[in-house]
Amino acid sequence: MSEERLEYFSAIERLPIQARDAVAGLEDAALDTPYREGGWTVRQVIHHLADSHMNSFIRMRLVVTEDHPTIRPYDQDAWAALPDSSTLPVAPSLAILDGLHERWGRMLRSLPDEAFGRSAFHPEMGEVTLDELVAIYARHGTNHCRQILDLRERMGR
């Protein structure tokens, strides 16, 4: 197993802690602040992480268990605009991330090297391997947590 791949696994496993740390102590006013002009609120970002990572976990399981599946995109902006994403406390999505990322990390670490060359078709991205999906989602969560931390810094929190 390559060192880079193992680093990606670790990033996926660390995401729940990073997300909790990113929002620790934030009150509703801060959670309802967009991380950038025209962007999602912090609350929407946390719910997006749960939505996106649930989708990704399922996509990766399909890649491993099916012969070259087509993985379905979804409209993340429409999901972020749903009432639960814009009003629900972040605790339920943080809890989802805890369990999801524990399973995800264990699944990835249990796979043989050859599994990471398996591929799928994504209508927006084209051909994608399991290795590429792992790299994308290892960075995805970290990038969103960085957006929240940058906002906190600008807000002096």
> Is-contact 9 104, C-beta < 8 A?
no
For the chain, counts of helices (H) and of strands (E): 7, 2
Domains and CATH numbers, the chain: 3-155 (1.20.120.450)
- Each residue of 142-152: pLDDT tens digit? 999 999 999 99
Question: Which residues contact residue 18 at a Cβ distance below 8 angstroms, ignoring those fewer than 6 apart?
Answer: 141, 142, 145
- Each residue of 103-120: pLDDT tens digit? 999 999 999 999 999 999
β-pair type (119-122, 126-129): antiparallel
- Each residue of 6-53: pLDDT tens digit? 999 999 999 999 999 999 999 999 999 999 999 999 999 999 999 999
Residue type, 42: V
- Each residue of 48-88: pLDDT tens digit? 999 999 999 999 999 999 999 999 999 999 999 999 999 99
